[in-house]
Amino acid sequence: MNPTYVRILLLSATLSMASCGQEFLVKTDPNAIAAADFYQSENDALLGLNGAYQALRNNNGLAEGSGLFNEQRSDNTGTNDNQSNAGEPFQFNDFSILPSNTYLKSHWLALYQIVTRANQVLAGTETLTFSNPQTKAQYQAEARFIRALAYFHLVRKWGDVPLVTQPLNSAEAVRTNTFREKKEKVYEQIVADLTEVINSPLPDIQPAAQKGRVSKVAGNALLGQVYLTMATTLDQANRAANLNQAKTYLTNAYTKRTFGTLKDIPYADVFDVAKKTTNPEAIFQIVYRQGDVNFSSGIAASNQAQGETINSLRTTTGVGGNVKPDLVKDYEEGDLRKEYSIKYANAANVRDYFITKFRDPSPAAGTNGWGGNDWLLIRYADVILMLAEVNLYLGDEAAAIGFLDQVRERAKLPLYNVARANPTYSARYPTLRQAILHERRVELAFENHRWFDLQRFFSPAELVAYFQAKPQADYGAARVSNFGPKDYYYPIPFDEVKLNPERMYQNPGY
């Protein structure tokens, strides 16, 4: 049996979960080296780790262009075009997605590519002798964080998924690992990986020159979110213990911040390209290079609507990043985040709101739209609102309100106890829980949090009722009435089920 191969610098995928049968029998490539032979020095370990970070840049996975798999699955955005690309993108927010959807398969493969590269780093570094053992521990902690992040997305989107923690170096290894592990076991692995991260010699906060690399604060923040998700979506027998763990790790992340309260950081500064390396709210981000054809950000230009110049100097002819009326109406009057995040375009073929949250109209980005926006995966407003959520569940409403008010104060909105005396506000958000969910929606809009928030705040049955109660007129061309119990999870891609229909069983309703 031939060994598997990775390209130099690990910039191509190694064997993925779908790679079985004839695809496994790769021939010798003079531009590639055997995976077993790649790790010969500490520098090779760094190159391998950089390859794992590079996998995060894939727009089919977790990068800035991955909104199709997240925001468009929620009630924030969505395409109104049911014709382009065989209508496959439309299936996501129409809740009519098929297991054969090629975009869904690409998302699955991109997430497992991240897992594969992290596994290669972890296995490869075990074969090396490092001059400083701390270097090895740091590299492995970074790889574990990256693997945990990918699995956290996989388990929330599909439920039970294949759990692979070692490189698969033979067709037999692939076959053996081609089965869906119970989601509880997947969460156990995520927790184990992130526990290693927070106990590692990684710095609490990475210096400006290392922005985009994993830190202990990132590990604590993600582990806190994992425990909060487990508390709200898994067996309720462990709810209290998981909530207390969530509070511990989220608090650990919060106490290591380098600012006072959130109002010290203007909202616009969080997304300002010129301030991204010194942005104290950023915890973990994918870094892009302004003006670089290969490593620049395209999110500003791709969200721009025809006739507009607020996002980018690049001329566009489309409708831009779609915003559902349901979200537009959820912004309170006077919320400065609305003015910054969305804008109405008057072009005849648009006449709708589009996303303006991610901007780079600078000469350095140019008319090609090669922007310098970083993609924020974790930031402090998210942590603060999760602390509001977890304190509420633990019965400390005063603490919950205190965290909620930090976010509202920065947005120049009345504090919660004042707002809830307003009949309009109290009618729309009659409970503190609903107020926190609302605040997360408008604060973190278009940052790929909304779908996961809905999963935490609602049971599957409640989520069906929530969507089906929405007015169709506020949802767009997609049919909100399609939402049903099956839509809590995505279908397993058809090609993956074919590998082993019994062990790669399909999710209910598909």
Q: pLDDT tens for residues 222-256?
A: 999 999 999 999 989 999 999 999 999 999 999 99
Residue 257's identity, in one-letter code, is: R
Count of residues making up the chain: 510
Please give the structure tokens belonging to residue 137: 């521990």
pLDDT at 27 over 70: no
Pick among 2.30.33.40, 1.25.40.10, 3.30.450.20, 1.25.40.390: CATH of 1-202+484-510: 1.25.40.390
Residue-level pLDDT at 83: 85
Residue 2 — very low, low, confident or very high, per pLDDT cuts 50/70/90?
Answer: very low
> 355 forms bridges with which residues in the sheet?
342
User: Residue by residue, what is the 3-state secondary structure of 1-14?
Assistant: CCCCEEEHHHCCCC
Question: pLDDT digits over 370-406, tens only?
Answer: 999 999 999 999 999 999 999 999 999 999 999 999 9
pLDDT at 14 over 60: no
Please give the structure tokens belonging to residue 391: 């304190």
Question: pLDDT digits over 293-312, tens only?
Answer: 999 999 999 999 999 999 99
C-alpha dist (Å) from residue 245 to 137, 233, 433: 24, 15, 20
Per mean pLDDT, which range of 10-14, 273-277, 287-291 is the poorest? Answer: 10-14
Q: Within a 13 Å sphere around the CA of 435, how many CA atoms are in the beta-carbon half?
A: 28
Mean pLDDT of 193-197: 98
DSSP 83: S
Mean pLDDT of 346-359: 96
3-state SS assignment for residue 371: strand
- CATH code, residues 211-270+374-457: 1.25.40.900
Residue-level pLDDT at 330: 98
Question: pLDDT digits over 33-66, tens only?
Answer: 666 679 999 999 999 999 999 999 999 999 999 9
pLDDT at 7 over 50: no
pLDDT at 275 over 50: yes
| Single pTM value for the model | 0.93
C-alpha dist (Å) from residue 213 to 22, 52, 91, 447, 465: 37, 11, 34, 19, 40
- Beta-carbon contacts of 247 under 8 Å, excluding residues fewer than 6 positions away, are 224, 387, 390, 391, 394
Question: pLDDT digits over 172-187, tens only?
Answer: 999 999 999 999 999 9
Q: What spatial distance separates the first Cα and last Cα of the chain, rounded to whole Å?
A: 36
Residue-level pLDDT at 84: 87
Q: How far apart are CA 161 and CA 146, in angstroms?
A: 17
Residue-level pLDDT at 52: 98
Which residue, chain included where needed, has tokens 């425990």? Answer: 227
Matching CATH topology for 1-202+484-510 and 211-270+374-457?
yes
Mean pLDDT of 194-212: 97
Question: pLDDT digits over 127-180, tens only?
Answer: 999 999 999 999 999 999 999 999 999 999 999 999 999 999 999 999 999 999
Helix (DSSP H) and strand (DSSP E) numbers for the chain: 21, 6
3-state SS assignment for residue 168: coil
3-state SS assignment for residue 412: coil
Please give the structure tokens belonging to residue 479: 């049919």
Residue-level pLDDT at 29: 58
Q: Work out whether the CA dihedral 222, 227, 232, 233 comes out positive or negative.
A: positive
Q: How far apart are CA 57 and CA 61, in angstroms?
A: 8
- Boundaries of every domain in the chain: 1-202+484-510, 211-270+374-457, 288-373
Q: How far apart are CA 154 and CA 141, in angstroms?
A: 20
State percent of the chain over pLDDT 70: 93
Please give the structure tokens belonging to residue 31: 């531009």
Residue-level pLDDT at 445: 98
Mean pLDDT of 327-356: 97
Average pLDDT, the chain: 93
Cα-only R_g, the chain: 22
**Contact present, 93 and 78 (Cβ < 8 Å):** yes
Question: pLDDT digits over 436-464, tens only?
Answer: 999 999 999 999 999 999 999 999 999 99
